[in-house]
Structure formats: C-alpha cells, structure tokens
Amino acid sequence: MRYLPDRWDEKKRRSLKKDFLAAAGIFLLAVCCQYVKDTLADRADASAVTDAPGEGDLKKQVALTFDDGPNADYTEELLTGLKERGVKATFFLLGKEVEKYPAIVTAIKEDGHLIGTHSYEHVNLCNLSDKAAIEQVNKTNNAIYEVTGEYPEYIRPPYGCWKSNLDYETTMIEVLWDVDPLDWKTGNSDVIAKRVTSKVQENDIILLHDASESSVKAAFKIIDKLQADGYVFVTVDEILFD
C-alpha cells in the first residue's frame, strides 16, 4: 500500500506531463502556422510590388551618344534640351574641334555628360598604321585632358573601325552602337526619331550626331517618347558595366 500514492502520483505526473507536451505541441504548431502564413504573405506582397504595372519599366536603360562634336552651331542647343529633360548622354569628340571650341567641351563636362574620343580629324583608323592611329587617339585625349582635366577612357572609332590590338596599345575601350538611324542622311527629325523609337530595346546604345538641327530635334523627340515609355537615359559606361 505504501507504493500506491507513489504510483498514483507517478500516473498523475505522467498524465500532467502528457497534457503539458500536448499543449506545448499545439502552441508550437500555432506559432509555426503563423510564421508560414506571414512568410507567404510577405512573398505575396513582394511579388505584388515587382509585378505592379510600370514598376519594372522604370529600370529600362538606354544610352544616347553624339559623335563629331563639339559643334559650334548645335551642341549648346542640345545641352540645353538634355538639361531640361534631365538626361545624361555620351559625347565622342574630335580632337581638332575640342581645340577650337574648348568652352563647349567645358559645358558638356559641367553638365555631367560622359566624354569620349572619336579621333583627331575624323579618319578611318583602320586605314592608318598603328603608330598613326595611336597618334590620332593620344592627340585627342590630350586635347580633352587640357580642357576637362580628365583623360577619356572610351573611344567610338569613326566608321566603327578599330583594330583590336589598339585596345592594348591605347588602353581605350571601344564603344560601338545598337541603333543607327543614319541621322546625317536626312533633314527630317520625325524620320530620325521614328527609326530609333521603332526598334530600340532595353540597354541599347543609340548613335546620333550633334551636327545638324534635325539631329538635335530628333534627339529631343526620342527622349520624350522613350521617357514616356519608362526608359531612363544613362551614359555608355552604365550600359557596358552594370
């Protein structure tokens, strides 16, 4: 008999322990369920943000490039329009013109655009000896450095012709293009703009020249249309290395 109370206590203790474990189990299950529910809700919220119409569009990048400047008649008009629209572009300059119009080059730099090299006097670098081609590049780079205090890193070779060994000889990074509306062949800015906006895609580099009224007007039309479509204009380094 003297074991009865003990055995009863033992039974009661086990029963209490079972109840406690069951309660703890239910509690843990509830906590887990809530956690899973919250996590799924968070994921649903996150995907709702990503999938929201227009959200992804804000990240579409495109780059405008202007060759052959600085131009005494059109570059400043272009800079004004770019500033009004909050657009940064890339200018591939001719060394000879940089020496003639340093104030325009300063304005390009001060507005935050990227400056690259085109060549000194618009020659096809592939038709030159390596030595002469390097001289075209270095002369232009030095002219730009004299004005801006920075050596350019990027080159748009005239006619898109660049010998790959010159990458090492000059340390320049070659930048070609994705969309060429042949703006120098027509005086119609609507035609130029349409040729670009009808085929441009995300991360494309667009080739234009700040060398005519129609090209400048076309640039503004392209910007207005593409900004309305959710594009953001960046300099070529952001397209090439981001």
Interacting residue ranges for Zn ion, rule: CB under 5 A:
67-68, 158
Closest separation in Å from C-beta 70 to Zn ion: 13
Q: Residue 183 or 204: which CB sits closer to Zn ion?
A: 183
Distance CA 242, CA 230 (A): 19
Of 159, 149, 150, 154, give the one whose Cα is nearest residue 137.
154
Q: Residue 68 or 76: which CB sits closer to Zn ion?
A: 68
Closest separation in Å from C-beta 105 to Zn ion: 16
Q: Residue 89 or 226: which CB sits closer to Zn ion?
A: 89
Instruction: Provide DSSP, 84-135.
Output: HTT---EEEEEHHHHHH-HHHHHHHHHTT-EEEEEESS---GGGS-HHHHHH
Closest separation in Å from C-beta 211 to Zn ion: 9
Closest separation in Å from C-beta 55 to Zn ion: 38
Of 184, 209, 202, give the one whose Cα is nearest residue 90.
209
Q: What is the length of the chain?
A: 242
Is 9 assigned a catalytic role?
no
Q: Which residue among 38, 67, 73, 190 is the active-site one?
A: 67
Peptide bond before residue 70 is cis, with ω within 30 degrees of 0:
yes
Distance CA 13, CA 234 (A): 74
Q: Which residue among 113, 204, 209, 210 is the active-site one?
A: 209
Judged by DSSP in three states, 37 sits in helix
Q: Residue 184 or 230: which CB sits closer to Zn ion?
A: 184
Percent helix / strand / coil, the chain, rounded to 5? 60, 15, 25
Residue number of the CB closest to Zn ion reads 67
Q: How many CA atoms lie within 13 A of 27 on its CB side?
A: 6
Closest separation in Å from C-beta 183 to Zn ion: 11
Is 113 assigned a catalytic role?
no
Q: Residue 158 or 189: which CB sits closer to Zn ion?
A: 158
Asked if residue 68 lies in contact with residue 118, where contact means CB atoms within 8 angstroms, the answer is yes
Instruction: Provide DSSP, 73-98.
Output: TTHHHHHHHHHHTT---EEEEEHHHH
Q: Which residues are catalytic?
A: 67, 209
